[in-house]
Amino acid sequence: MKKEDIVTIALLIIGIGLIVAAFGIIFSSYPVRNSLDKVITDYMFTHVNSSVKSFFYYITLLGEALIYIGVLLTLYYVWDKKKVVRLMIVLFSSTIINSLFKYGFNLSRPPKNQWFYQMSGTSPGFPSGHAQMNTTFWGAISIVVKKPWLIITSTAIALLVSFSRIILCVHWFTDVIGGLGIGLVIVGLFMVFSNPLETWIQKQSKHVQLLITFLVFIIFTLPIVFTVRDSDAMIQQLKFLTLFTTVILSYIVEGEFINFDSRAKNWWKAITRVIIGIGMFFATYFGLKTLFGLIASAVGSTILQVTLDLVRYAVLGPVAILLSPWIIMKLKL
């Protein structure tokens, strides 16, 4: 048996085991919150001092979307665009799955009076998004890069961010182990299906690839609209879905018009590429946010605000995948 097969089986077994354990603990006393979750959260609330919690507050920030975006854009501009697109797909799929689980089960978080004072959030508790997304993101990167130092670093980041959610009392213990389990299963499935799926898609014409992307957009949109009951959360998920879709659409046509070489020739060119790419991405993000906010405020329309937000996220895909690489190529970086 190949080493990759052993790793895949291990990830799936451990992941499923954690999910089963989480469900077993949760539903052992449902609808009343189980005693294990209560004991662990109460201990963290009463026995962990503010200095330790402040440290883990900064650790938990490593699980924010801006970190993922920064890492992915950096790798896209200086490493391997094909592999980065794989990472984008698995990360986004995990985001949608997490949202559907959260609002499907609609399980509560710990009481807000126990949260670390700098924490905020309105979504349901199970599974922890930080635990699941970090496990998926860093696990997938480890699988793609296959460097021992990165595997160790990724594992440490995923575990620290995951358990920071318990220490900060913003998630129950079962939320976190459930998120870890789902993340491991997604990484395992990524190892099984990514290569054959990518091979099949590459055999299709550009028109078919574009059509598949639109179909995926529709397929993901329907459960978001009908499952996510919180309107703000639903809109946020649709924004990410719009960004993901335009990124993939841009990537499909990029080879025909730009054919970006993602391998930087030396260190200073790599740094310059990252500055241009990330700079243009966030300049567009915040610039359009300000502009569209002023327009929506002047008109006084909530529907217009939502529409312009979706447009803003739609523009980010071509900026990141088409415009920035085109500039980099023109500058011969």
**Residue 105 and residue 16 share a domain:** yes
Residues 115 and 71 in one domain: yes
Single residue among 167, 193, 219 that ends a domain in this structure: 193
For residue 168, give the 3-state DSSP assignment: coil
> Among 156, 173, 193, where does a domain finish?
193
Q: What span, in angstroms and rounded, lies between the C-alpha atoms of 137 and 75?
A: 13
* 324 in a structural domain: yes
How many domains does the chain divide into? 2
What is residue 254's predicted lDDT score, i.e. its pLDDT?
87
- Which residue, among 231, 154, 195, 158, has the nearest Cα to 2 in the 3D structure? 195
3-state secondary structure 255-288: HHHCCCCCCCCCHHHHHHHHHHHHHHHHHHHHHH
| 172 shares a domain with 28 | yes
Q: Which of 110, 118, 153, 114 minimizes the C-alpha distance to 134? A: 153
pTM over 0.85: yes
In a domain, residue 320? The reply is yes
How far is it, in rounded angstroms, from Cα 174 to Cα 156? 20
Query: Would residue 146 count as lying in a domain?
Result: yes
Residues of the domain holding 131: 1-193
Q: Which pLDDT value is given to residue 261?
A: 85
Residues 314 and 187 in one domain: no
pLDDT in tens, the chain (333 residues): 777 778 888 899 999 999 999 999 988 888 778 888 899 999 998 988 888 888 999 999 888 888 888 889 899 998 888 888 888 888 888 888 888 888 888 888 898 888 888 777 778 888 998 899 999 999 999 888 888 888 899 899 999 999 999 999 899 999 999 999 999 999 999 888 888 888 888 888 888 888 988 888 888 888 887 777 777 778 888 888 898 899 999 998 888 888 888 887 888 988 999 999 999 999 999 999 888 888 888 877 778 888 888 899 999 999 999 999 999 988 888
**Is the same domain home to 175 and 322?**
no
Is the residue at 89 inside a domain?
Answer: yes
- Whole-number Cα distances in Å, 272 to 91, 151, 267, 321: 26, 27, 9, 16
CA–CA separation, 146 and 317 (whole Å):
28
On whether both 59 and 91 belong to a single domain, the answer is yes
